Amino acid sequence: MRKLVIGLLTIVVLLACIPLALIATGTINSGSVRMILNVMTGMGGPPATATDVKQRFQLPPGFKLELYAADLPKARFLRFTPGGDLLLSRPHSGDIVLLRHDANGDGQPDAVMTLIDGLKRPFGMDFIGDTLYIAESNRIGKVAFDSARGKLAGKYKPVVEGFTDEGNHWSKTLRVGPDGLLYLAQGSTCNVCVEEDERRATMMRFQPDGSGAEIFATGLRNSVGFDWAPWDGGLYATDNGRDLLGDDFPPCELNLVEQGRFYGWPYYNGANLPDPDMGSDPLAKQHEPTAPVHGFRAHNAPLGMTFIDSSNWPRGYERAALVALHGSWNRSTPDGYKVVSLHWTDNGIEERDFLTGFNQDGDIAGRPVDVAQGPDGAIYISDDYAGAIYRVSYGDKGQNWQQSMETVAPVSRLDAETPAWLAEADLPEMAERGAQLYFYYDCAGCHEAGENPKTLAGLANRLGYNAIIDVLKSPQAPMPIFPLSDVERRELAVYLLYGGGAERTH
Ligand code: HEC
């Protein structure tokens, strides 16, 4: 314990010296010194302005950037509600802000209001149906939510309590998995050490009622962002590499997180290189460390990530995620400070610049934290330094929420023509098998039962065969990805549209 305290003190002293040393040696300019000092003293930077946003940033051709909302100091994580409003967590003020969707099309939220406050450093948020789950630094809580009105519809209740939150990485990220379970990532207390609380530096998993706690994966120093690949359900998480081993080591990581695996921290860095401060891994025989699937540059600090639906985007984003690189604070030349796209290709994962301009030769104007895709297909990016949310849209599509909601409106999702596989004679038998699948996978559990079922009544007015097959292929959380074959997806679609499945549910 004493060793730990001395270690922590040394780190604090060392960190405090960095900006001073850098100013003295003239290695970085005043913009980044201001940034480092602001970050260390807990102050934000100058607020973002619309002019800045027009002049400063770069995006790939065809994309457009707007300042969606400003005056939101310490803006951290984002999540869209089922009703299309945007939630923003602000751990430092203990609140979650709701940005009402832009129905009037002026490029800004129609209202910005505090949804809930008095929480302890709330960070991650997600929904199961109309229940909002919130990860505070010491517990998970839930509250009923009225998606249409964008209001709470009940009392906030704890679901899991007793997490520790001391030390460096107190924030907890929460997401609902395709399996309907709660996934919680929590970072380490320290830069590099052996944790007393074995839940730190792990990803955990719980039932929605908080029972069945299990440590899902270990050795994750600080996995702030994670998401499931829509094409195969793989769970990918960003992870911040340790500090104080120089400017260029170790890489920050993207891990493919699988149950029971150990991702190296504190004994291994990057591609399982032993850590110079830790000595050998006492569990080396049981611990086969899993190497990252992608390395970000050292100290870039990848935070939020999201896989994107690129239906209205140019080619090249089919299997892609966006990741916010918050940017280095202890590297002699600032690095990161941008949003990158990751592309899953035959040759592995490629990283490309997406939104740059936060850092202009060391003059820092912002630090991206999280990325979320709206129901309008646009990308929303939070910035805790400029206290802003930016909106990135492509082409003419998704100019504003209303237009784009119209483009995905029911009618356009009905099949224009009969799918080629659909033969009248097969329908009864297909519907019969679809009904069995519906029963086997307990679709009714979410679509017919409970307080607030996601009813499939009247589905035929909203979705055609192809749209239903798309939903089954890449459902929105919390609807799970089921291991269905193409034929089985067709059978379910037939059951829902033709076989009376959607009529039964009301
Ligand atoms: C864990 C809960 C859950 C289960 C199980 C589930 N769903 Fe869903 N499903 C949802 C939710 C939630 C949505 C709405 C997602 C959204 O907001 O877009 C949804 C949406 C849908 C939609 C689109 C509805 C619309 O109006 O756009 C269809 C179709 C659908 N589900 C079919 C199924 C079928 C078939 C099964 C079983 C194989 C199933 N679901 C199992 C939760 C579930």
Ligand 1 centroid to 47 CA: how many Å?
Answer: 41
Specify the pLDDT at position 69: 95
CA dist 133 and 141 (Å) reads 6
Specify the pLDDT at position 285: 78
Specify the pLDDT at position 10: 53
**Which of 440, 479, 497 to mutate for ligand 1's pocket (most ligand atoms within 8 Å of CB)?**
479
Which residue type sits at 73? P
CA dist 16 and 329 (Å) reads 11
Specify the pLDDT at position 335: 84
Residue nearest to atom 37 of ligand 1 (CA): 443
Q: What is the mean pLDDT of each run of 10 residues along the chain (506 residues)?
A: 54 50 50 63 76 88 94 96 96 96 89 95 96 97 94 96 92 95 95 91 97 96 96 95 79 94 91 84 83 89 95 90 89 85 94 94 91 95 95 69 36 70 89 90 85 82 88 84 91 88 57
Ligand 1 centroid to 444 CA: how many Å?
Answer: 9
Question: Is residue 480 within 6 Å of ligand 1 at its C-beta?
Answer: yes
Cis peptide before 250 (omega within 30 of 0): yes
Residue 483 token pair: 């291991």
- The CA–CA distances, whole Å, from 147 to 118, 128, 294, 401, 435 equal 22, 12, 37, 16, 30
**Which of 309, 373, 442, 447 to mutate for ligand 1's pocket (most ligand atoms within 8 Å of CB)?**
447
Question: Is residue 443 within 6 Å of ligand 1 at its C-beta?
Answer: yes
- Contacts of 364 by beta carbon, 8 Å cutoff, 6+ apart: 31, 32, 34, 35, 45, 327, 334, 337, 358, 385
Specify the pLDDT at position 108: 92
Ligand 1 centroid to 482 CA: how many Å?
Answer: 11
Specify the pLDDT at position 90: 97
**Ligand 1 atom closest to the CA of 129, numbered from 1:** 12
- Write down the mean pLDDT value for the chain: 86
- Contacts of 423 by beta carbon, 8 Å cutoff, 6+ apart: none
Ligand 1 centroid to 224 CA: how many Å?
Answer: 27
Question: Is residue 156 within 6 Å of ligand 1 at its C-beta?
Answer: no
Nearest alpha-carbon partner for 102 in 53, 131, 133, 66: 66
Question: Is residue 410 within 6 Å of ligand 1 at its C-beta?
Answer: no
Could you read off the pLDDT of 97-121 as tens digits, one per residue?
Answer: 999 999 888 899 999 999 999 999 9
Question: Is residue 463 within 6 Å of ligand 1 at its C-beta?
Answer: yes
Question: Is residue 446 within 6 Å of ligand 1 at its C-beta?
Answer: yes
Question: Is residue 445 within 6 Å of ligand 1 at its C-beta?
Answer: yes
Question: Is residue 447 within 6 Å of ligand 1 at its C-beta?
Answer: yes
Ligand 1 centroid to 479 CA: how many Å?
Answer: 5
Q: How many CB atoms lie within 10 A of CB 403?
A: 13
- Contacts of 286 by beta carbon, 8 Å cutoff, 6+ apart: none
Question: Is residue 450 within 6 Å of ligand 1 at its C-beta?
Answer: no
- The CA–CA distances, whole Å, from 94 to 134, 187, 299, 370 equal 12, 19, 27, 18
Specify the pLDDT at position 23: 47
Specify the pLDDT at position 323: 97
